[in-house]
Structure 1
């Protein structure tokens, strides 16, 4: 059994929050794409708050921006796991990395479409 399992209560919550912050820090320091998305969110989220749209529309505008960050974190995690397993070129490794990239493309397209539908 893992020594990291079995924590309960506040200790588990504190540990989980620490691991999450470590992950965000690693993504920000090590992933240019994540930093670019953070910059995009720094621009778009305040813009969503400033625009004259309904609360539901504002929530959707913000949610799709945050979704792209989530997808990039998962994409980076997939890439790191694949690279940890082997740096050798393998068709399955390529597929995994390409699918992660495709997920990010879908997330960015979703941002563009949702913002266009709400604002136009």
Structure 2
């Protein structure tokens, strides 16, 4: 974005870059495609079952959080891969830590869904 873009033009440009990032993630990362399917499922489940608004937000929001973490992890991996293909301890550490972040986001999704379904149907 050029310096000096302000107001509505800056917001429109930033939105375009965000859409490009979503498209790139969808095109190049199987995990992101899978998580978009999970997002669609979460929206359907939230709409079909008799959950209150907070529960619906937690079900869908936890998956959106997972997508955020996955996109950031993919960005880290892309930058590391861009720097070089030879093994470096710091490159491996960065990729492993990004993967760990995705793992914990998945744990959060599982915990959220388990608690909501358990409390709702027990």
1:22-41 → structure 2 map (5 Å cutoff)? 22-41=20-39
2 CA distance for matches of 1:27 and 1:107? 17
Partner of 1:111: 109
2 CA distance for matches of 1:97 and 1:6? 35
C-alpha RMSD of matched pairs (Å): 1.1
- Unaligned 5+ segments in structure 2 are none
1 CA distance for matches of 2:42 and 2:53? 15
Following TM superposition, the consecutive aligned residue runs of length 4 or more in structure 1 with deviations greater than 2 angstroms are: 3-6
1 CA distance for matches of 2:49 and 2:60? 12
TM-score (norm 2): 0.92
Partner of 2:5: 7
- Unaligned 5+ segments in structure 1 are none
Matched pairs, number: 118
